[in-house]
Structure 1
Amino acid sequence: MLEQRYRVDALLARGGMSSVYRGLDTRLDRRVAIKVMDERFAADRSFVDRFEREARSAAKVHHPNVVAVHDQGVDRGAGGDLVYLVMELVDGGTLRDLVSARGALDVPLALAILEPVLSALAAAHRVGLVHRDVKPENVLIGHSGEHGTMVKVGDFGLVRAVSSAGTTSANVILGTVAYLSPEQVTTGNATARGDVYSAGILLYEMLTGVTPYTGDNPLSVAYRHVNDDVPPPSRTVPGLPPALDELVVRATRRDPVARPADGAAFLAELTHLRTQLGVPAVGIPVPEPTLADRTVPVTPVELERARAWTPPADDSARSGELDLAESTRPATPVPAAAALGNATVVRQVPAGFQAAGPQGTRAMLRTDLDQLAQQEQGPPSAGIPQMHQQLAPPLPPPMPPPPRRPRPTAPNGQPRGGRGTVVLWSIAAFLVVAIVAVTTWWFVDGRWSTVPDVSGQLNSEAQEVLRENDLQPKVEYRADNEIESGVVIGTEPAGGTDVLRGEPVTLVVSSGKPKVPDVRPGATVEEAEQAIRDAQLQPGLDDGINEHSDDVAEGRVIRLEPAAGTPVSVNQRVEIVVSKGPAPKPVPDLRGKSRDEAFQALEDLGFNPVELGQEFDPGVDGGAVVRTEPAVGEVLEAGTDVGVVLSNAITVPDLSGRSAEDATAALAELGLQINVQALGGTGRVFGQSPSPGNRVEAGATITVFTIP
């Protein structure tokens, strides 16, 4: 029992981060599905808080194709805390069960399943909720009524909740690698267009029976999402309509801007395509985890439509041109229905492919992905440094020996100057050899110096070593998670490289762990993102943590999380908390205040005051506020119009001692009537009704009593 209410029964599924059980809500006597998160998350307060927020967000999505969230909580017991989520129980199986049992699905069935999936995503995207982990395991197909079928999408928001837990960090890729969008792999940002990408992969897998990318490990699959384009499914299953190929390719573009904007846009394109191709509506078989071939009966009319439909033989149904040189297809289309007793066609997985199989949400380091990218590019080239190759000229040719001449002779027949000539030629030969040797040494080796390996040395020591090798040190500081501040990480060019003597060599010195930059409140999001990148960190935006602020304008930065100055790991994600503008506030009580005072008070609260006219109120002086619309205490967003109704009451003046003529004139000026009651002839006023100070409506009659 969880919290003495939910009875946990049979295990339905187990994943890397949670397990799902069949259960019973004993209070309402209702069958439910209970997802219990792995116990390592229960001890993380940040995860529990985010889990509760995401559960509340998911519960707001009321849609027939979204698995309803009934409750969430934490069961605290002697054996430890259990974080759980109570959801609608779908009696059936998953899309993974269906694809595993049948292989590739025919076009009518694939579109019939994808339409409710996109409808669920569209409903979530409309309220600002992103799924982040669209995959066959999260698409449930169950029984609805006696012969009906329902398709529902589950696990909204749980990946974002897991990503906040202390067991992960910002340089972790979290999700199911076979369906991750490129931007989720590279930056971790998840948007509605990322869900569109995953849904496109889902459609590809239903049409072919396999995911577009396979690899020896999850990292290699993630690498292909970032660097490869998803091929059209007809390369694997020939005969699919070209327009369907184009839809899959467009939904899985690596550039998010080139995809449909959200689930609603993708659904609109799918509906249009279905109409163009004349794809019939078919029943959806319900897979059973224990009996994969059990299906919901399909009506004869639906079966006949599925068997009769074939893809168009020409390009008349193409929704747009697609430049694919390899997209040539056979002229004869593959039938949409084969010799089966229902509307589902079985296409065997092509040879050489392996089905992806159940794949749970995974966590991988982005640094591992970077290393994989380096392996793909190959090792750096070896040999003589490039600068050496450019600057070293070919060796000069050896000088030819001097020409032999007849030696002059003296009159007595002896050679002239014999010893002196030999010495002179010896010196000349020595100089020539020396010049050649020095020139060769200079161009080949003398003007070059080898960069010493100074990694691990202190900055000052490394600079001295470079100077000793006739090199000019240039210091560049770079953050590093492991190497202490002031210690050399390496050099650019690397140690062992030959460079010209006197050339600058960059010393890369550790500045220690990077710190979250100090971004002033009110800065733009672009300024904050640049400051974070300059600090060797990754900026992140999450609508779930944005806040209202009376001091920071809407769309501007409130603060960063973690706080400015906090030491963090290189490339760690730093969240930018953005202002949603002033928080909703209640309408104040302005009764009795002047118009100007009321307008100023409303403007100070961020409202837009509007005058709504006048009405009589005996308790409020003329020109003062009688009431507001909306009424006092109603909570409104900033910028909302608030109407102010003013009093038109007139205060009765004191007419004592005035003549009847003066009293009449004074009341007429105020818009009031007079009734003179003379006692013994007209004279001075000695009494009046209503008495002075009372408030009356315009046009009211004041009775005065006069005496001679």
Structure 2
Amino acid sequence: MTSTGPSFAGTLLDRRYRVDGLLARGGMSAVYRGVDTRLDRPVAIKIMDSRFADDRTFVDRFENEARSAARLHHPNVVAVHDQGFDTSAGPESKRAFLVMELVDGGTLRDLLDQRGALDVPLALTVFESVLSALAAAHAAGLVHRDVKPENVLIGRGGDAGGVAKVGDFGLVRAVAGSSTTSADVILGTVAYLSPEQVTSGSAGAPGDVYSAGILLYEMLTGRVPYSGDTALSVAYRHVNDDVPAPSREVPGLPPALDELVLRATRRDPNARPADAGAFLAEFARVREELGIARVPIPVPSAPVEEQPDVERTMPVMPTVPAAHGAGGPRGTQALPRDPRYAAPASAYPDTEPEAPAARSGLWTALWVLVGLLLVGGIATGVWWFMGGRWVEVPKVVGMEQQRAEQVLRQAELTPVVTEERHNTTPSGTVIRTEPENGSRALRGEQITVVVSLGRPVVPDIAPGTPLNHAEQAIRDMQLTPKHDPAADEYSAEVPKGTVVRVQPRPGSQANLGDQVTLIVSKGPPPTPVPQVTGMSKQEAFQALREAGFEPFEAGEEFAEGVPAGQVTRTDPQAGATPGNGQRVGVYVSNAVEVPVVIGQPTDRAVRILSRAGLSADADSGTGRFSFVVGQDPSPGTFVARGTTVHLEVIP
């Protein structure tokens, strides 16, 4: 739906943002290309319709949602730079505006219009970007509420082609809170509405997951799963039918992709992934199993009238079915929440002719009854449209969980409890609600109740826990894991690379973000080199191998008192702990045992010593008839080769 409204081209908003050419115009806003004159950068400027500026509820929610969206810093989210209110034409024409990142390209709708069904690698590449953006938003407490191809922008600048970004976070929620819209407005596009949005108007993270599942179905098949002659028929198929597997439209699609779509589009929100982060984890696992690589995203060209604008999501008003137009994938038509509008036809048997007076009285009574029903219906409708569908979120912060849930249910709201650690709020006590107290909410809407788990405690990490699992357990407790390899220890019981213990000890209370030190096992302590001195070489080699070392011959040397052929020492030395499997050098003695030459003729004694590798020194010559009567070193002594033996001879 487009409208003709005043153009802001040429205006300088907030003395900073110059408005240039119109990019798109919708029923509730117009989007312009502009320039931030302070930073000299191109921007996109969305200027809301003037009727919202006087709505205090819209203004408050617009500011809150803009601030929340501005905190989202993610490569697949259209960045929100600023928000404000323009009064350049006077206070009576004040308009809210939003300054966003300018994405130069087209939308996913343009890409689908140009290509039809996308091939699987391209569909998964685009979908991963969309899920990553939604996961970041859900982690920050933001729900999009209107996930559809028109809100997925594809611009230039990606590493491998285009980059897909999701825009308009928070605007749907802001418009939904405005009293300028009907009290029974459903903001969302009929082809992508989750069942709970149709039936109760509640929209949470599971609703975004459902819409993302429909988006994936459309990218894989080229069409949305439901179409019909009226928007009502399309919406109630979401409520009453299960989304079919995309392989029915495109045979040959992997069953894992069918299961991914079906998981995301379960009619029961509790049967879907809890949020986009959980869905992204399932998606990544399926993609890895299928072995499908990322591909460049082509940047589509988009005509001006097809630029993304959240207000193409038109308000859905409660009307009778006869008022409905056709419901297609790109816009919604008038849609009642409850199909109980048409009374069933009744057949009355014609038994006897009635007297004219009786028939007249009967018709009078019927007309009176119809009049009463109409008056009652009008009164109910007036109450409904004037705000009966909205309630104020009560203050439950500081209450115990059970009491807080009771208070919210009494206010006709649906509490959804999440838990987190808190340094000061006692366990079991409400920290905050989302939306916060005092906000307007639809009757039956889900209100997130954040309950304290108390201060974090050091988790019970058993010895032998893998390091990455232990670190994740500590992060889950909102503490900071720290591993210093220099502090690791040997352990004969705990496998190498797993946790031996943590400091502080498990169960200790801590504050959010405190460090927990992980001591990791270096495996069994190394075996010391055994003492093999005095052994034969063969015995020494066997002993070293049995101790887990690799022995080798390091050479020969003299060692006093060690017989020839026996081990003198090892390198590393005995008792050292070099680590199992290391080589150990073995040194063998080359000592000579002094032979007995006493009583031998001197010349014979000299020859005996010479053959043993020793030299002789006779004190009185080597005459023909001389013989040895003493020797030094004495017989049997181990000496180095070449040692001189002093001989005492006579005559």
TM bin, normalised by shorter chain, reads 0.5 to 0.7
The answer as to whether partners of 1:542 and 1:575 remain within 8 angstroms in 2 is no
**Which residue is 1:52 aligned to?**
63
Find 1:187's aligned residue among 200, 209, 212.
200
Cα distance in structure 1, aligned partners of 2:393 and 2:216: 45
**Which residue is 1:373 aligned to?**
339
CA distances 1:400-442 after superposition (whole Å, capped 9, x unpaired) = xxxxxxxxxxxxxxxxxxxxxxxxxxxxxxxxxxxxxxxxxxx
Q: State the one-letter code of the partner of 2:16.
A: R
Q: CA deviation at 1:58?
A: 0.7
Cα distance in structure 2, aligned partners of 1:530 and 1:7: 48
Q: Does 1:363 align with 2:315?
A: yes
The answer as to whether partners of 2:395 and 2:437 remain within 8 angstroms in 1 is no
Q: CA deviation at 1:240?
A: 1.5
Find 2:87's aligned residue among 65, 68, 76.
76
Report the 3-state secondary structure (helix = DSSP H, G, I; strand = E; otherwise coil) of the residue aligned with 1:362: coil
Q: State the one-letter code of the partner of 2:430.
A: E
Query: After the TM superposition, which residues 202-241 of structure 1 pair with which residues of structure 2 at under 5 Å, given as runs?
Result: 202-241=215-254
Report the 3-state secondary structure (helix = DSSP H, G, I; strand = E; otherwise coil) of the residue aligned with 1:144: strand
Report the 3-state secondary structure (helix = DSSP H, G, I; strand = E; otherwise coil) of the residue aligned with 1:373: coil
Q: CA deviation at 1:18?
A: 1.9
Residues 481, 525 of structure 1: CA spacing in aligned structure 2 closer, same or farther, 3 A cutoff?
Answer: farther
Query: After the TM superposition, which residues 160-171 of structure 1 pair with which residues of structure 2 at under 5 Å, given as runs?
Result: 160-171=173-184
Q: CA deviation at 1:514?
A: 9.8
Q: State the one-letter code of the partner of 1:46.
A: T
**Which residue is 2:274 aligned to?**
261
Q: CA deviation at 1:202?
A: 0.6
Q: Does 1:554 align with 2:430?
A: yes
The answer as to whether partners of 2:168 and 2:310 remain within 8 angstroms in 1 is no
Q: CA deviation at 1:381?
A: 4.7
Q: CA deviation at 1:239?
A: 2.1
Cα distance in structure 2, aligned partners of 1:35 and 1:515: 27
CA RMSD of superposed structures (Å): 4.8
Q: Does 1:287 align with 2:287?
A: no
Report the 3-state secondary structure (helix = DSSP H, G, I; strand = E; otherwise coil) of the residue aligned with 1:524: helix
**Which residue is 2:406 aligned to?**
527
Query: After the TM superposition, which residues 615-634 of structure 1 pair with which residues of structure 2 at under 5 Å, given as runs?
Result: none
Cα distance in structure 2, aligned partners of 1:289 and 1:224: 31
Query: After the TM superposition, which residues 505-544 of structure 1 pair with which residues of structure 2 at under 5 Å, given as runs?
Result: 522=399, 524-533=403-412
Cα distance in structure 2, aligned partners of 1:146 and 1:111: 17
Find 1:67's aligned residue among 73, 78, 81.
78
Report the 3-state secondary structure (helix = DSSP H, G, I; strand = E; otherwise coil) of the residue aligned with 1:199: helix
Q: Does 1:196 align with 2:209?
A: yes
Q: CA deviation at 1:189?
A: 1.5
Q: CA deviation at 1:207?
A: 1.0
Q: CA deviation at 1:108?
A: 0.8
Residues 50, 541 of structure 1: CA spacing in aligned structure 2 closer, same or farther, 3 A cutoff?
Answer: farther
**Which residue is 1:99 aligned to?**
112
Q: CA deviation at 1:484?
A: 12
Q: CA deviation at 1:65?
A: 0.9
The answer as to whether partners of 2:389 and 2:443 remain within 8 angstroms in 1 is no
Cα distance in structure 2, aligned partners of 1:371 and 1:115: 32
Q: State the one-letter code of the partner of 1:5.
A: R
Cα distance in structure 2, aligned partners of 1:276 and 1:559: 42
Q: State the one-letter code of the partner of 1:129.
A: L
Residues 17, 518 of structure 1: CA spacing in aligned structure 2 closer, same or farther, 3 A cutoff?
Answer: closer
CA distances 1:441-489 after superposition (whole Å, capped 9, x unpaired) = xxxxxxxx9996564899xxx9xxxxxxxxxxxxxxx99661799xxxx
Residues 539, 171 of structure 1: CA spacing in aligned structure 2 closer, same or farther, 3 A cutoff?
Answer: farther
Q: CA deviation at 1:367?
A: 6.3
Cα distance in structure 2, aligned partners of 1:119 and 1:266: 10
Residues 267, 514 of structure 1: CA spacing in aligned structure 2 closer, same or farther, 3 A cutoff?
Answer: closer
Q: CA deviation at 1:219?
A: 3.0
The answer as to whether partners of 2:52 and 2:59 remain within 8 angstroms in 1 is yes
Residues 528, 239 of structure 1: CA spacing in aligned structure 2 closer, same or farther, 3 A cutoff?
Answer: same
Query: After the TM superposition, which residues 149-548 of structure 1 pair with which residues of structure 2 at under 5 Å, given as runs?
Result: 149-290=162-303, 360-366=312-318, 369-370=335-336, 373-374=339-340, 379-383=344-348, 455=369, 482=379, 522=399, 524-533=403-412
Cα distance in structure 1, aligned partners of 2:223 and 2:315: 22
Report the 3-state secondary structure (helix = DSSP H, G, I; strand = E; otherwise coil) of the residue aligned with 1:142: strand
CA distances 1:58-112 after superposition (whole Å, capped 9, x unpaired) = 1111111111111111011335112111111111111011001111111111001
Cα distance in structure 1, aligned partners of 2:317 and 2:292: 43
Q: CA deviation at 1:366?
A: 4.9
Q: State the one-letter code of the partner of 1:43.
A: D
The answer as to whether partners of 1:559 and 1:577 remain within 8 angstroms in 2 is no
Report the 3-state secondary structure (helix = DSSP H, G, I; strand = E; otherwise coil) of the residue aligned with 2:87: strand
Cα distance in structure 1, aligned partners of 2:58 and 2:393: 26
**Which residue is 2:16 aligned to?**
5
Residues 48, 359 of structure 1: CA spacing in aligned structure 2 closer, same or farther, 3 A cutoff?
Answer: closer
Residues 102, 560 of structure 1: CA spacing in aligned structure 2 closer, same or farther, 3 A cutoff?
Answer: same
Q: Name the % identity.
A: 59
Q: State the one-letter code of the partner of 1:182.
A: P
Q: Does 1:39 align with 2:46?
A: no
Cα distance in structure 1, aligned partners of 2:171 and 2:447: 21
**Which residue is 2:520 aligned to?**
none
Report the 3-state secondary structure (helix = DSSP H, G, I; strand = E; otherwise coil) of the residue aligned with 2:131: helix
Cα distance in structure 2, aligned partners of 1:229 and 1:83: 40
Report the 3-state secondary structure (helix = DSSP H, G, I; strand = E; otherwise coil) of the residue aligned with 1:24: strand
CA distances 1:118-152 after superposition (whole Å, capped 9, x unpaired) = 11111111111111111111111111168642111
Q: State the one-letter code of the partner of 1:112.
A: T
Q: Does 1:89 align with 2:55?
A: no
Residues 86, 249 of structure 1: CA spacing in aligned structure 2 closer, same or farther, 3 A cutoff?
Answer: same
Q: Does 1:112 align with 2:125?
A: yes
The answer as to whether partners of 2:415 and 2:449 remain within 8 angstroms in 1 is no
Q: State the one-letter code of the partner of 2:80.
A: V
Report the 3-state secondary structure (helix = DSSP H, G, I; strand = E; otherwise coil) of the residue aligned with 2:252: coil
